[in-house]
Amino acid sequence: MKRNYFIFLIIILTAQMFSGQSLTFISENNGKPLPKVSVFGKDGSILAYSDIEGKIDKKVLHPDQEKFQLVYDNYPIATLSYADLDKEVIKLNDVVKEIAPIVLRNGKPAKYIIVKGNFNAYVTVNNTLNCYADGIAAYVFDNETKKLKNTYVEQYRMFRLENQKNDRKQTSSWDYDAALEIPDIKEVGNILDYKTKKNTVIKELKGPRKDQIEITGEALQKKEFAFLGYRFFDVRSILNVSYEKDSKKTLKDFVEFNEISFLKLKHKSEPDYNQLILYTNFYPSELSFTDQADKIKIKFNTHNSNYTTNYWEEASFPNMQKVFSSFFKDDLKEQQNKK
């Protein structure tokens, strides 16, 4: 009897210790969890990013940040105080924009499927922006196997913060533009194959307008990897792909792609690891069929921009540069346009 009472006390204490340590964002319009909500601190650092259950860890929020800006679907949707966030559940107005229907061009089936759309990508170091890019890209898939054959960038902009030191032994000072890449959507045509892969965790969320699939994986969790005086640790990725509601999850049903990649890095002389995070996002706008796999493309060179139209002014474009510039002002410099 005493033993059972002791176990009961341990359960109660454990529940108390861990309760209230997470916060859940939900839609005030339908009560569903809100994944992919970014929580920005007053200095522009990205403190948290909600998972498919709408949850973030409260421990990353500190009173000294005072105000927190919440960004959803590439738009600021709320500015809250620390006291506002000291809850277990927060309702947010997530009606930012309707999902634009994908334009179907050359609808007659052919050897290849081309998925064209808008993208953005950015790297943070210790939660602070390091570099940013956005643009228009096209992906060519084999129509039979749904495997990716080619990727083409049509236009893009490149931004970076000035005054990066690039000290060899101080990895937090580096310019990480080499880590910046356009979204890798090669699995979206066969996303359900992940259910047969090991070392991945899959969760699904059925929303009122779309179905979302979150896939997580990790490596180097127990032991670091050393190379040329540098230490690598805690490699993780979170893949979130959305399809039309109650669909078969094919390329024709594909509506959104988001991936976050994590890595901790330091030089052997540094006392602590630096947290590197790469965010990549793609939003399809056109789907077409063709028998030609080759398209006109430009090289994605992070030392310059390359565009011929102001594509970012379109209402549907995922322009996160506006969000970042609201924090970093003129320090976030666009690289010269070499069209």
Confidence at residue 220, expressed as pLDDT on a 0 to 100 scale: 62
- 8, burial (CB in 10 Å: exposed 0-12, middle 13-18, buried 19+): exposed
Q: What are phi and psi of 4, to 5 degrees?
A: -60, -40
Collect the ranges in the chain with pLDDT lower than 50: 1-19
Q: Which residues of 296-318 are buried (b: 16+ CB within 10 A; e: fewer)?
A: eebebebeebbbeeebbeeeebb
- pLDDT the model gives residue 144: 92
pLDDT single digits (tens) 150-174: 999 999 999 998 766 666 778 888 8
C-beta separation of 238 from 203 below 8 A: no
pLDDT value of position 294: 76
Cβ atoms 116, 284 nearer than 8 A? yes
Closest CA to 283 of 144, 143, 137, 80: 137
Distance of CA 6 to the CA centre of its chain: 44
**pTM for the full predicted model:** 0.87
The architecture in CATH of the region 2-92 reads Sandwich (2.60)
Contact predicate 82/282, CB 8 Å = no
In the chain, list all ranges with CATH 2.60.40.
2-92
What are the C-alpha distances in Å from 112 to residues 150, 165, 182, 252, 262? Answer: 10, 45, 21, 13, 33
Instruction: List, as one string, the DSSP characters of 83-128.
Output: TTT-SSEEEE---S---PPPEEES-S--SEEEEEEEEEEEEEETTE
Structure-token pair, residue 318? 């995922």
Whole-angstrom distance, CA of residue 127 vs CA of residue 320: 15
State residue 164's pLDDT score: 65
* CB of 171 closer than 8 Å to CB of 183: no
246/132 Cα distance (integer angstroms): 34
Residue type, 38: S
Q: What is the DSSP pairing of strand 210-219 with strand 230-244?
A: antiparallel
Alpha carbon of residue 45 to chain centroid: 15
